[in-house]
Amino acid sequence: MKQIFKKITVFLLLSGLLAPFALSGNTDTEKIVKTEPPQIGIIGMNEVNLPAISHGVGLFNPPWTALQLGISKEASLFDGETALYGLGLQLFTGTFQKSGGGIQFATAMLLNENDFYGVNFSIVNAAYKGFYGIQTGVVNYATENGGAQIGAVNCSYKKNFLQIGLFNAARSGLQIGLINSNQNSILPISIGINYSPEEK
């Protein structure tokens, strides 16, 4: 549970809500993934350290599967290096290292290290690269959102197509929400709706 709250804090940092604070310590792994300094709207973050994904532990390790079942990333049928092309059902958390597609569900958190095409349902959804489909949760993050993010807090770092939520942060695309942050829009901060074309 402690790790879940730590990772939720990371994604809130990315959305700019807790930008003044720093995240320290990482019990999952010694590796740290560093992003470029994002500038989302008028909310500036100098540097954000993302914990590298701790690959899930499973009973089997095939190249891919059409069905992934598990309790958490530490207790699954297949480990995190198995690509999912189908249905993934995790009771608490799910971690997927390889690119894949389909439908993923977890009650607490879903983490995709590579591109994913499909639908995510969880409290926290995170795609460290591209997500092409629908992310539905309380907090949604994608480096590139090629589909729709629907949740309370939505954050897309490089590219965005559509965000619907209370707080939306991106550099392009259509945003519908209570507060929308987009530094490339005519209004960097707006209420209700915001839009800017994709960065070139």
Whether the Cβ atoms of residue 116 and residue 101 lie closer than 8 Å to each other: yes
Whether the Cβ atoms of residue 133 and residue 147 lie closer than 8 Å to each other: yes
Output the pLDDT for position 63: 87
SS3 state at 99:
coil
Output the pLDDT for position 95: 86
Domain spans of the chain, in order of start: 56-196
Closest CA to 104 of 130, 70, 138: 70
The radius of gyration of the chain's CA atoms, rounded to the nearest angstrom, is: 16
User: How far apart, in Å, are the Cα atoms of 116 and each of 11, 120, 191?
Assistant: 18, 9, 30
The two tokens of residue 38 are 């994002």
Output the pLDDT for position 46: 34
Output the pLDDT for position 200: 64
Helices (H), 69-154: none
Output the pLDDT for position 62: 82
| Residue ranges of the chain whose pLDDT lies below 70 | 1-59, 73, 200
Provide the 8-state DSSP code for 24.
-
The two tokens of residue 171 are 């550099």
Output the pLDDT for position 135: 97
The two tokens of residue 12 are 């809130």
Helix or strand holding residue 118 (H, E): strand 116-121
Exposed, middle or buried, 57 (CB in 10 Å: 0-12/13-18/19+)?
Answer: middle
Output the pLDDT for position 141: 97
Q: What digits encode the pLDDT tens for the residues 48-76?
A: 444 444 455 556 778 899 999 988 867 88
